[in-house]
Structure 1
């Protein structure tokens, strides 16, 4: 998105630290060390320094109090501030120009390519104003071109490194949340999503179904046909669970071993229909040496069978064990929690 902050917490810290450092630096070097300079210059630098310190403190302590547009405007405000200070102090030195690196690095680290380009343009325009004001035309032109090219190349390199880092981080996040064998979510990802999904459904007054799945007699598949066949069976089940509800908002996870779970926004009838569709897809597989595995499935729905996330998990587990106790290879819809306990199905 062209007007999106990629990491607002990181952006807030970057602004806070740099503003505090810039405020202190300018207060010391631009005011205290230049006592005796024209009063107007001292006042301008002093006011800017205090403003930097205040903004830095707010960004550090209360970043949420600042509007979103502030984080987008930061590089432009910073470029204006650097230009204003350079004009006030008549400073065209290389050291003064290096302060433009801060808004440039901020934009390259946290903003889109469009905003990075706009920041480079703002820096180029700001430096042109300083250079052509206090330098002869020829010298100013060469200096302005050099700064513009240097800032552009720096922005390109930093933005490319940031994008590469973001891609690598995304890959690592996906790997950390996925089951290596089947490609569905792992237990950690399921546990993190489960509570959030249930609370969101309760707040919206919508149902949410938890579907627990066990592969029947999975140990026998491994013992008879080998672990490669067992792995193939698990991948087949995971694929069926993904494909049984195309386009639906559902999370498929392997909890461990031969146990899977599915979380979906659905009522009892839709959830049971999904369970039967998943079973049918597994039954249709003809490339397993052991034949298609049978599935025991327990289905529970909030608010029909439970009022909280913990209750929903207990009731879904109870329905699963009821399916096993009833002969396996079937789907069972949960009863009210008061009517049974999980222990009764062991």
Structure 2
């Protein structure tokens, strides 16, 4: 016989849908790492481009020849401004806007192209140096930004090389464009493969190998995201802790293989018994957890009871029948921390087992209850 300790027995939505599988890693650390790379590598790229213009200008000045396009002062001023911007990027703690981050490679490519027009004799060094911003864009930003940078570099190089050497300059432009296209394609492909590998590893790190559900690490991250959503004024949510009753008997009587098969069967049942917006995980041993999004205490109790009844019915036909006890914790105002919510659900689960197992118990106790 089951028992639900809850504030209301009013009917709610039936249990339906599919549980959410292992989720990707939290994006905050990845975003911070990407910002660091953009500012430091991008800043270094701008400084390198400024140094290139300065060196060419100094060499040109040492030869005592006039500048064909810019004056000495303009070149030095441009180099100083670009270098100062590069140092600023490397030192600033501010988050760069997307448009600025995406513009850095193209800006560096244009600056690198300038020595081509200064000495009127572009050589093979130009195509080599132009691979810097293209590689940076493909490795740190995105394929779209990388191809845009390659296009900008090709156009600017074509104009300046054509002005400097005419037909010879255009021949060099063909070589430069081919080099940029090959480098861009190679780095984009490598980065795409690396991204898929990182995503696969992230999923594995947050997936329980036995059941395919999220593990404790992935579930804790989901709880943290839910807390952040609640603090922004989101709808209430609830946490279910599901524990197999007398699971030790299964292992002791039929062996651990039977226990593993029981865990897999229950994991599959849970996975198909909840909505896509809910998070279902195995958080340790024979204990599972379900994070119910947009779910008030009454509905959480109803869905927990439906789950308890479903397991009793479905698992009764398994080779090794089981029942489950379910502890339910709601999220009243103010929103509890993930640790508090987990502790509340754990206390409810303990109470459900102490009351006889195969039943549902709901927290918090501050809500008026009807036995």
Q: Say yes or no: TM over 0.5.
A: yes
Please list, as runs of the form range in 1=range in 2, the aligned pairs for 1:1-346 lying within 5 A after superposition: 7-28=34-55, 30-31=57-58, 34-35=61-62, 36-38=64-66, 40-62=70-92, 64-137=94-167, 139-204=168-233, 206-247=235-276, 249-265=277-293, 266-282=295-311, 283-285=313-315, 288-291=318-321, 293-303=322-332, 307-336=336-365
Pair 1:281–1:200, CA change in 2 (3 A): same
Unpaired stretches in structure 2, ≥5 consecutive residues: 1-30
Pair 1:256–1:25, CA change in 2 (3 A): same
Q: Which has the higher contact order (CA 8 A, sep 6+)?
A: 2
Quick one: distance in 1 between partners of 2:73 and 2:129? 20
CA contact (8 A) 2:126 2:176 kept: no
Shift of 1:244: 1.8
Residues 168-219 of structure 1 show CA distances to partners (whole Å, capped at 9, x for unaligned) of: 0111111111111111111122223323322421331531211111111111
**Whose helix fraction is larger, Structure 1's or Structure 2's?**
1
Residues 311-330 of structure 1 show CA distances to partners (whole Å, capped at 9, x for unaligned) of: 32222111101110111011
CA contact (8 A) 2:138 2:187 kept: yes
CA contact (8 A) 2:117 2:161 kept: no
Q: Which residue of 1 aligns with 2:27?
A: none
Shift of 1:286: 6.5
Quick one: distance in 2 between partners of 1:305 and 1:275? 23
Pair 1:90–1:191, CA change in 2 (3 A): same
Pair 1:324–1:73, CA change in 2 (3 A): same
Count residues in correspondence. Answer: 332
TM-score, length basis structure 2: 0.80
Pair 1:330–1:15, CA change in 2 (3 A): same
SS in 2 for 1:303: coil
Quick one: distance in 2 between partners of 1:70 and 1:335? 49
TM-score, length basis structure 1: 0.86
Quick one: distance in 1 between partners of 2:361 and 2:148? 60
Residues 138-183 of structure 1 show CA distances to partners (whole Å, capped at 9, x for unaligned) of: x334322222112111111110000000110111111111111111
Unpaired stretches in structure 1, ≥5 consecutive residues: 340-346
Further displaced range: 253-262 or 6-15: 6-15
